Homo-oligomer: A and B are copies of this chain.
Amino acid sequence: MILTGKVLIAQGGGPTAVINQSMVGAALEARKFAQVTKVYGAIRGVEGILNEDFIDLSQETTNNMELVAQTPSSALLSTRVKPDEESCRRMFKVMKAHDIRYFFYIGGNDSSETLRLIAENAVKEKYDFRAIHIPKTIDNDLVLNDHTPGYGSAARFIASAFTGVNLDNRAMGGIYIGVVMGRHAGFLTAASAIAKKYPDDGPHLVYVPERAFSIDKFVKDVKNVYDKYGRCVIAVSEGITDEEGRPIVTTLRDDIEYDEHGNVQLSGNGTLGESLSDLLKEKLGVSRVRSDTFGYLQRSFMECVSDIDQREAREVGEKAAQYAMWNNSDGSIVINRTGFYSVDYDFVPLDKIAGKTRYMPDEFINEEGNHVTDAFKYYLRPLVGSGYKVAHRLRASHAPKLFLK
CB within 8 Å of B: which residues of A?
Answer: 11, 14-15, 38, 40-41, 51-60, 64, 67-68, 70-80, 93-94, 97-98, 156, 160-161, 163-165, 167-172, 176, 267-271, 273-274, 277, 289-297, 299-304, 389, 391-399, 401-404
Q: Is the CB of B392 within 8 A of A55?
A: no
Contact of A167 with B73 at beta-carbon distance under 8 Å, contacts A40-B399, A302-B391, A303-B303 already known: yes
When C-beta atoms are compared, the residue in chain B nearest to A292 turns out to be: B295
Determine which of B53, B58, B290 lies in contact with A268 in the assembled complex, contact meaning CB atoms within 8 Å: B290
- The 8 Å CB contact of A299, one of B168, B289, B299, is B168
Q: Chain B contacts of A163 at CB under 8 A?
A: 302
A27 to B337, CA, bound (A): 47
Cα distance A303–B156 when bound, in Å? 10
A15-B394 in contact (CB<8A): no
- In the complex, A164 Cα to B289 Cα: how many Å? 28
Q: Which residues of B are found within 8 Å of A398, using beta-carbon distances?
A: 53-56
Cα–Cα, bound, A403→B8 (Å): 15
Q: Tell whether, in the assembled complex, residue A164 and residue B301 are in contact, meaning their CB atoms are under 8 Å apart.
A: yes
Q: Is the CB of B303 within 8 A of A295?
A: no
A383 to chain B, nearest CB (A): 15
Q: How far is the CA of A270 from the CA of B98 in the complex (A)?
A: 48
Closest Cβ neighbor of A90 among chain B residues: B403
Tell me if B396 and A59 are in contact (CB < 8 A).
yes
Taken together as a complex, chains A and B put the C-alpha atoms of A25 and B262 apart, in Å, by 56
> If the complex has contacts A168-B300, A303-B303, A391-B71, are A59 and B397 also in contact, measured as CB distance less than 8 A?
yes
Q: Which of A72, A73, A169: most chain B CB closer than 10 A?
A: A73
Of A15, A68, A172, A176, most buried by chain B (CB within 10 Å of CB) is A172
Using A59-B397, A165-B300 as known contacts, say yes or no to A73 and B270 having CB atoms under 8 A apart.
Answer: no
| Given A55-B398, A57-B396, also A168-B15 (CB < 8 A) | yes
Q: Which of B161, B164, B274, B304 meets A73, CB within 8 Å? A: B164
In whole Å, how far is A405's beta carbon from the nearest beta carbon of chain B? 9
CA A165 to CA B295, docked complex, whole Å: 10
Contact A164 B52 (CB under 8 A): no
- Do A167 and B300 touch across chains, with their CB atoms under 8 A apart? yes
Given the complex of chains A and B, what is the CA–CA distance between A290 and B293 in angstroms? 12
- A sample of 13 inter-chain contacts (CB < 8 A) reads A38-B399, A54-B399, A64-B394, A72-B391, A78-B171, A78-B172, A160-B303, A268-B292, A269-B270, A290-B296, A292-B296, A293-B293, A302-B389
B296 touching A293 by the CB < 8 A rule?
no
- Which among B15, B68, B75, B168 is the interface contact of A296 at CB below 8 angstroms? B168
Q: How far is the CB of A192 from chain B (nearest CB, A)?
A: 13
Residues in B whose Cβ lies below 8 Å from that of A60: 394-396
Contact partners of A59 in chain B: CB under 8 A: 396-397
The 6 lowest CB-CB distance pairs between A and B, nearest first, are A270-B270, A268-B290, A73-B167, A292-B295, A67-B392, A164-B300
